[in-house]
Amino acid sequence: MSKQKLEHYVSQSLKHFGNWYLKLQVMPLAHTTSPADFIVITQNYNYLIECKQVTCKSVNCKEDMQGTRKNYYFYIDRLTQNLDLLSFENVSMNNRAFVILLFWHGSLKKSNCFIIPIQSFNDCEIIVKKSLTEEYCLNCDKIYKLSVLPGSILDISNFIV
């Protein structure tokens, strides 16, 4: 399995739906960065997909006032490829860029996975917050929750066409 669980699940899902894709690798010795984790080419569109995972452990969470529910944060600063994704999408009308965000709770069935178009990610409302919580993602109409199909496949068929 890959270093990041989400990258493995996205790779499985792209294979399952028959999309041509390439996992982009970072070359630290060459001092180069990758604009995203995956590039996907379909008949109609080209996609860049960046995967980000929040492992929900006590270190990454804060309890609410009653001390019952924990809230997990994805800090916006962790998306260093933001400008690359935006520029890719602005180059052509056929280019799309997404961030897939996973709040990992020990297994894929217990976890929440979201797909966020890069334009929505850069919406003023999200940027001002400086972080995304799992609860905010569940309630935001610009952030889409991915369902899990049998075989640990993320249902990306509505987004990668």
Domains and CATH numbers, the chain: 5-154 (3.40.1350)
pLDDT at 125: 63
122 vs 128, which has greater pLDDT?
A: 122
pLDDT at 141: 85
% of residues, the chain, pLDDT over 70: 81
Q: Is 52 helix (H, G, I), strand (E, B) or coil?
A: strand
Instruction: Give 117's pLDDT tier (boundaries 50, 70, 90).
Output: very high
- Non-local (6+) Cβ contacts of 27 within 8 A are none
Instruction: Give 161's pLDDT tier (boundaries 50, 70, 90).
Output: confident
Query: Among 31-35, 50-54, 134-138, 155-159, which is the least confidently predicted range?
Result: 31-35
Note the pLDDT tens digit of each residue in 93-110.
Answer: 999 999 999 998 888 988
- Rounded to whole angstroms, the Cα distance separating 96 from 49 reads 9
- Rounded to whole angstroms, the Cα distance separating 109 from 31 reads 37
92 vs 69, which has greater pLDDT?
A: 92
**C-alpha distances out from residue 160 to 72, 95, 117, Å:** 27, 11, 11
79 vs 7, which has greater pLDDT?
A: 7
Q: What's the mean pLDDT in 52-67?
A: 62
Task: Tell me how many degrees the CA angle 64-56-71 measures, rounded to the nearest 5.
Answer: 20
Over the chain, what is the mean pLDDT? Answer: 83
Among candidate residues 85, 73, 93, the one with its CA nearest the CA of residue 119: 85
Q: What's the mean pLDDT in 62-79?
A: 64
